[in-house]
Structure 1
Amino acid sequence: MRVILVDDEALALEHMEHLLVKISGVEIVGKFQNPFRALEASLRERPDVIFLDIDMLEINGIEIAEQIQSSYPEILVVFVTAYDEYAVKAFEINAMDYVIKPVQRTRLAETVRRLKKRVPSQAISSDGSGIICCFQTLQFKRSMWDSEFVDVYWRTSKARELFSFLIQHRGRPVRKDILLDMLWPEVDDKKGYAQLYAAIYQIRRTLSAIQMNITISSLDHSYVLELNEVKLDVDEWQNGMAALTSGSDENVVKHQNLMTLYRGDYLAEEGYLWAESERERLRILWLHYINMMTDHFVSNGKYTEAILLYRRVQVLHPYVDSSYFMLMKLYDLLGDHHSVEQQYKHLRNMLKEEYDMKPKPTIEKWYEKWKSEMNRHKNGDGNNECRSL
């Protein structure tokens, strides 16, 4: 049973971990004091159970649970709270159980016993196809929503890069001389072709070992890679998002599910220069969908959901100033003045440390105007205004 622990109190988090590691059949796959990081991890890792503190400073645990269960209702929630009065609300959102602080070993063991009856078998399910993951890094899974990755052994880094390049050009012929110039520019043609053939052989052996039915055919002076029934996360994400043409209520959950496929920029950890244009294209598309969903949330007064989206943008792209500015404006809409100040300070520090720069004039102007309005409100001179993004 895979679990995630969330509590903004470090001692409470350590105590819960100490109790759970002594119970057989429990694997802790994450523990967090930051509830927003916990939400991201829960949507990414899809644990069986999340033990969630209710009374946290940044956001109420019940809001986090609602976010998780709107996307993945199969994730079981157990609330950990110092207040018995929260129990009724907990069961309103289909929480599996709740335990009162300080957590007792016998009470927690009983909760785990109940959970094990609800958690499905851990056997890896396969839809007979498998999926290649290219967001963030190259990996394989047995099915789309499987949380486990397949162990893959690449004999050489060249074989891994060659496979990645063929995946990017899937279904299209790629000339062998182009592959030679890209991967073995320093060797003569005879030796280069020998290394190319050896790399293709290694790729086929690797795919066979993990039972992925992907074919690489040689025709004329080219290779063609066919995915056959194997899926690609990039295609699934792109096609799925394009089919949801609006950010309506009926589509928002589907949007959120699909957005979890975007674990990071395309092949970002591989650092292949030839992937940069595709990486940038998909990043722009991702930000477009983020903005579309944010507009929907803001227009419906769901500022917390919009903030969670841009917190994810900030995690993936911590050196881009736009996410800080957007979060400043979203926190302002929420009335969280402290977080506006915090985001501005984080932005100034990031720009100073990374680029030795100051925030853009548009951001400085907005902040100075906001600061002036806050001071007038404190002095009783300001009027409440309707704010917008």
Structure 2
Amino acid sequence: MRTILIDQDLLMLEILEDMLQEIEGVQVIGKFTNPHQGLIEIIRVQPDIVFLDIEMSEISGLDLAKEIKETFPDMNIVFVSTYKQYAVWASKLQITDYLVKPYRGEALNETIISLRSRRGSMKTTLARQMVCCFKKLQFKYYGRNSEVIDVKWRTPSSRALFAFLIHHHGHFIRKDALLEHFWAGEEVKDGYSKLYSTIYQIRKTLKSVGFNITITNSKSSYRLELNDVLLDIEEWEQGIEEFPFVNEGTISKHKEICNLYNGDYLEEENYLWAENKKSRMRIQWSHYLKKVAKYYLSTENYSEAIILYLQIQEALPFKEESYFVLMQLYDSFGDRYSVEAQYSLLKDMLHKEYCSEPNEMVQKWYQSWKSRRAREEYKVEDLVHSK
């Protein structure tokens, strides 16, 4: 069971991680003191369990849980807190469990046992079959209870050829072109033998996972048909086209569309033929996220805007805009340390990549912000001394 931990108390975060690592079958895949970064990772990897602190300064754990539940209604969330009074809220939000600090090994074990039982009873009958190409090639059941299928490819060639056919699905691809692409150094006879063997292996793999994907064989070509199987990149592109405007009525759908893009097109596969599409989709994705983020800014939902701009920054780290927007957003929360961190990251990036400094507007804003912070701190200190 894959877990993510979010707690601004670093000591308690380390303690919980150590205790969970002692439980067989539990894997801590991420731990965060910054709740915004934690939420980004939750959206990206969709863990089985989230252990979430309630008392956090930047955003309440209750509000963060609402955000998670809106996007992933069936995600298991375990509240952690020093106090017991939040248990009522846990029930209202349909939180899986509630742990009180300091943690007791017995209580934590009972929570994991309960979660395993809950997970075993979850059904995927309403989910649809989907081939995923964002980040890496994988198969899953897509629905309320998404489940990734463990696929055993017999050879790297069968996986690569299947990805190539998916890339061109619905179109005939000439066999001699496939030979030139995958077996260029082989004798023609040997190349065709390996092609036929690899197509056979792909068909066996598709049959083993029960996906209704067919590969049609003509005299000189192959064509892959998805039939009723979904393709994540097409669902994402169709969603953007179907919902061109972001407003109160469509924002839940846009959050679903955003969550489909959990990494660049086949980024972990390193296929050279996928590079053009990967670059095009990354640019399209960044423009789309900015549009959704603009809606959140207009409605003063700054926490959601931060999440999106952190994603934009991760994908496009050499663009100055995301750093400056995040500085202003963190300032709206009074998060001084994150403002300074973003400015420092921006300076380091510009110096390393372009041997330059932040532009004049950003520098003026930062200096003005520092002066304002100094005045505010002086007033507080003066007030304390006067008492």
Under a length normalisation based on structure 1, what TM-score does the superposition of the two structures give? 0.83
* In structure 1, distance between residues paired with 2:355 and 2:204: 50
Residue 376 of structure 1 and its aligned partner are, at CA, apart by 4.7
Q: Residue 52 of structure 1 aligns to which amino acid in structure 2? A: L
Residue 109 of structure 1 and its aligned partner are, at CA, apart by 5.5
Under a length normalisation based on structure 2, what TM-score does the superposition of the two structures give? 0.84
Bigger shift: 312-321 or 128-137?
Answer: 312-321
Equivalent pair of 1:324/1:344 in contact (CA under 8 Å):
yes
Q: Following superposition of structure 1 onto structure 2, how do residues 369-388 of structure 1 map, counting pairs within 5 Å?
A: 369-377=364-372
Find the residue that maps to 2:278 and give its secondary structure: helix
Equivalent pair of 2:133/2:265 in contact (CA under 8 Å):
yes
Residue 76 of structure 1 and its aligned partner are, at CA, apart by 4.0
* In structure 2, distance between residues paired with 1:78 and 1:379: 39
Matched, 1:358 2:353: no
Residue 83 of structure 1 and its aligned partner are, at CA, apart by 3.8
Equivalent pair of 2:82/2:102 in contact (CA under 8 Å):
yes
CA deviation profile, 1:54-92 (whole Å, cap 9, x unmatched): 223543322321211221232343321224455555555
Equivalent pair of 1:13/1:31 in contact (CA under 8 Å):
no
* In structure 2, distance between residues paired with 1:16 and 1:375: 37
Residue 188 of structure 1 and its aligned partner are, at CA, apart by 4.0
Equivalent pair of 1:175/1:221 in contact (CA under 8 Å):
yes
* In structure 2, distance between residues paired with 1:19 and 1:379: 42
Find the residue that maps to 2:5 and give its secondary structure: strand
Name the residue aligned to 2:261: 262
* In structure 2, distance between residues paired with 1:380 and 1:11: 33
CA deviation profile, 1:320-353 (whole Å, cap 9, x unmatched): 5443233234334444443222112112223444
Name the residue aligned to 1:386: none
Name the residue aligned to 1:78: 78
CA deviation profile, 1:101-148 (whole Å, cap 9, x unmatched): 22334555665677677x353566255852111001111113345544
Q: Residue 264 of structure 1 aligns to which amino acid in structure 2? A: G
Q: Residue 308 of structure 1 aligns to which amino acid in structure 2? A: I
Equivalent pair of 2:52/2:77 in contact (CA under 8 Å):
yes
* In structure 2, distance between residues paired with 1:372 and 1:18: 42
Residue 23 of structure 1 and its aligned partner are, at CA, apart by 6.7
Percent sequence identity over aligned pairs: 40
Residue 372 of structure 1 and its aligned partner are, at CA, apart by 3.4
Name the residue aligned to 1:368: 363
- When residues 75 and 190 of structure 1 are mapped into structure 2, their CA distance, relative to the original with a 3 A threshold, is closer
Q: Residue 281 of structure 1 aligns to which amino acid in structure 2? A: R
Equivalent pair of 1:129/1:213 in contact (CA under 8 Å):
no
Find the residue that maps to 2:78 and give its secondary structure: strand
Name the residue aligned to 2:176: 177
The CA RMSD over aligned residues, in Å, is 3.1
Name the residue aligned to 1:68: 68
Equivalent pair of 1:180/1:196 in contact (CA under 8 Å):
yes
Q: Residue 356 of structure 2 aligns to which amino acid in structure 1? A: K
* In structure 2, distance between residues paired with 1:269 and 1:341: 32
Equivalent pair of 2:246/2:295 in contact (CA under 8 Å):
yes
Find the residue that maps to 1:202 and give its secondary structure: helix
Name the residue aligned to 1:385: none
Name the residue aligned to 1:51: 51
* In structure 1, distance between residues paired with 2:76 and 2:193: 53
* In structure 1, distance between residues paired with 2:284 and 2:331: 27
Matched, 1:136 2:135: yes
Equivalent pair of 1:241/1:258 in contact (CA under 8 Å):
yes
Find the residue that maps to 1:178 and give its secondary structure: helix
Name the residue aligned to 2:383: none
Equivalent pair of 1:152/1:206 in contact (CA under 8 Å):
yes
Q: Residue 137 of structure 1 aligns to which amino acid in structure 2? A: K
Find the residue that maps to 1:121 and give its secondary structure: helix
Matched, 1:226 2:222: no
Find the residue that maps to 1:250 and give its secondary structure: coil
Residue 309 of structure 1 and its aligned partner are, at CA, apart by 1.1
Aligned residues: 375
- When residues 229 and 267 of structure 1 are mapped into structure 2, their CA distance, relative to the original with a 3 A threshold, is same
Name the residue aligned to 1:40: 40
Name the residue aligned to 2:244: 245
* In structure 1, distance between residues paired with 2:202 and 2:299: 50
CA deviation profile, 1:248-283 (whole Å, cap 9, x unmatched): 122212211222211100011112121122112221
* In structure 1, distance between residues paired with 2:194 and 2:109: 57
* In structure 2, distance between residues paired with 1:21 and 1:127: 33
Bigger shift: 137-146 or 260-269?
Answer: 137-146
Find the residue that maps to 2:150 and give its secondary structure: coil
Equivalent pair of 2:58/2:333 in contact (CA under 8 Å):
no
* In structure 1, distance between residues paired with 2:83 and 2:233: 45
Q: Residue 219 of structure 1 aligns to which amino acid in structure 2? A: S
Q: Following superposition of structure 1 onto structure 2, how do residues 302-313 of structure 1 map, counting pairs within 5 Å?
A: 302-313=301-312
Q: Residue 362 of structure 2 aligns to which amino acid in structure 1? A: Y
Residue 186 of structure 1 and its aligned partner are, at CA, apart by 2.6
- When residues 343 and 293 of structure 1 are mapped into structure 2, their CA distance, relative to the original with a 3 A threshold, is same
- When residues 145 and 79 of structure 1 are mapped into structure 2, their CA distance, relative to the original with a 3 A threshold, is closer
Equivalent pair of 2:136/2:265 in contact (CA under 8 Å):
yes
Equivalent pair of 1:19/1:105 in contact (CA under 8 Å):
yes
Give 5+ residue unaligned stretches, structure 1: 382-389
Name the residue aligned to 2:154: 155
* In structure 2, distance between residues paired with 1:114 and 1:149: 22
